Amino acid sequence: MLMIPGPTAVPEAALLASAKHPIGHRTREFSEIMEEVIQNLKWLHQTENDVLMVTGSGTAAMEAAMINFLSSGDRILVGCNGKFGNRWAEVGKIFGLNVETITSPWGKPLDTETFYKKLHADTNKQIKAVIITHNETSTGVVNDLETINHSVKAQGQALIIVDAVTSLGAMNVPVDSWGLDVVVSASQKGYMVPPGLGFVAVSPKAWEAYKTAKLPKFYLDLDKYRQFTTQNTTPFTPPVNLIMALQASLRMMKREGLASVFARHQRLMDATRAGIKALNLNLFAEDECASPAITAVAPSNIDVERIRALMSKRFDIALAGGQNHLKGQILRIGHLGFVCDRDIITCIAALEAVLPELGWNNFTPGAGVAAVWATLK
């Protein structure tokens, strides 16, 4: 039972679709699948802009977002308050960009006022892009993308590039109404399919920047994908069976409806956090910036890795650990994608069962499950 922030559980409909015999990617049958998938990707992104698929992980989509719209020496602002914000800064430096980081401690949201001041002071319009990780998966913190984006729009010149890898499909990312320029995500998160596909939504403003971007590219040249997408096909051999699985999962999401998908994730987040609080365990992120995709827990006086090991051994439930300097200090419970009430109840009940074995009895037996159920009712 995967209760990690990715890969996430895959529904049966998507698994069965991916188990079909492959078909030719230059056939009419595949083009018809692509046509439906492209339209449903636009629906999910709430956009009329291009939404392009590349074969690769979310990091491939991140790299594509940089090399297609920026040039060596360009000044960019990167928000860093976790592992994935830091990764953007690292990739930017590798490509010779002039990377300026705006940091917050891990577990805290980015300071929107700092972005405002930096952008407001940029009267010569030297800042070419602002990169924000919407949902910082390493800590379970949601950054205030909407407010930061207002500051980017007021500056006028800079692109807003968004890492929505664990927010797309879990929370509202209205690409067109917010005027987001480049938005990246990946298949193994809220899309409810296995790893292997990256997605990049691109605005007309970003395509204008593409015309003068000078970083080298070939396989990740998004203009190739744009040209082939207009014909409902791909420039290179795609993971055909993953796209068939994606067709199935997007149909499921459409039946549920965007508002219901977002409400479900919010509800499951609230229930998870209520259960953790009832067990008198520390939450790593404050309620005000909590993630609908993943909850980070920072137990005191308990060996985090033993919790994870016992959850796996006793109940076959996989929880994620901390990353980088948080390894051994936090555990992360994913409630993203194909997750329902039963999964949260099961996870918290199992956690209740293993904690006393590790010497943690600072709660009333049954309190965690009762708190979850009271939130879900």
* pTM greater than the 0.95 cutoff: yes
- Residue 2 falls within a domain, yes or no? no
pLDDT score at 214: 97
Q: Which of 226, 255, 284 is the last residue of a domain?
A: 255
Torsion of CA 322, 326, 331, 336, to 10 degrees: -50
Share of the chain above pLDDT 90, in %: 99
Q: Are 110 and 81 in contact (CB under 8 A)?
A: yes
Measure the CA–CA gap between 16 and 4, rounded to whole angstroms: 22
Residue 153's domain comprises 11-255
Looking at 255, 285, 318, the residue that finishes a domain is 255
The predicted structure's pLDDT at residue 231: 96
Domain with 271 in it: what CATH number?
3.90.1150.10
296 & 324 share domain: yes
Separation between Cα atoms, residue 236 and residue 133, nearest integer Å: 28
**8 Å CB contact between 245 and 193:** yes
> Would residue 3 count as lying in a domain?
no
From 231, 255, 279, give the residue that closes a domain.
Answer: 255
130 lies in the same domain as 165: yes
Q: Give 91-100 pLDDT, tens digit per residue.
A: 999 999 999 9
Q: pLDDT band at 52, cuts 50/70/90?
A: very high
241 and 264 fall within a common domain:
no
Both 78 and 107 in a single domain?
A: yes
Question: What CA–CA distance (Å, rounded) separates 68 from 219?
Answer: 11
Q: What is the pLDDT of residue 369?
A: 98
Find the mean pLDDT for residues 222-232.
Answer: 97
Taking residues 16-36, what's their average pLDDT?
97
Same domain assignment for residues 28 and 107? yes
User: Residue 66: how many CA atoms within 13 Å on its side-chain side?
Assistant: 28
Q: Are the beta carbons of 259 and 274 closer than 8 angstroms?
A: no
Confidence class for position 29, pLDDT limits 50, 70, 90: very high
Q: Which residues contact 96 (CB under 8 A, 6 or more apart)?
A: 72, 73
Question: Residue 227 in contact with residue 235, Cβ under 8 Å?
Answer: yes
**Cβ atoms of 53 and 238 closer than 8 Å:** yes
Query: Is residue 289 located within the same domain as residue 248?
Result: no
Q: Please provide the DSSP assignment of 220-267 as one string.
A: T-HHHHHHHHTTTS-SS---HHHHHHHHHHHHHHHHH-HHHHHHHHHH
Q: What is the mean pLDDT of residues 59-85?
A: 98
Considering the domain architecture, whether residues 248 and 298 belong to the same structural domain is answered as no
Do both 248 and 263 map to the same domain? no
How many folded domains does the chain comprise?
A: 2
Instruction: Give the CATH number for residue 82.
Output: 3.40.640.10
Assess if residue 84 is contained within a domain.
yes
From the number of C-beta atoms within 10 Å of its C-beta (0-12, 13-18, 19+), residue 124 rates as exposed
Q: Are residues 286 and 197 in the same domain?
A: no
Mean pLDDT, the chain, as a whole number? 97
- Indicate whether 364 belongs to any domain: yes
Nearest of 273, 346, 359 to residue 314 by alpha carbon:
346
pLDDT of 296-346, one tens digit each? Answer: 999 988 999 999 999 999 999 999 999 999 999 999 999 999 999 999 999
**368 within a domain of the structure (yes/no):** yes
User: Are 249 and 148 members of one domain?
Assistant: yes
User: pLDDT confidence of 77, banded at 50, 70, 90?
Assistant: very high
Per-residue pLDDT tens digits for 256-267 = 999 999 999 999
Contact present, 32 and 247 (Cβ < 8 Å): no
**256 backbone dihedrals φ, ψ, rounded to 5°:** -70, -35
Q: Report how far residue 83's alpha carbon sits from residue 231's, in angstroms, rounded to the nearest whole number.
A: 37
Asked if 160 and 30 count as a contact pair (C-beta separation under 8 A), the reply is no
- Domain identity same for 190 and 290: no
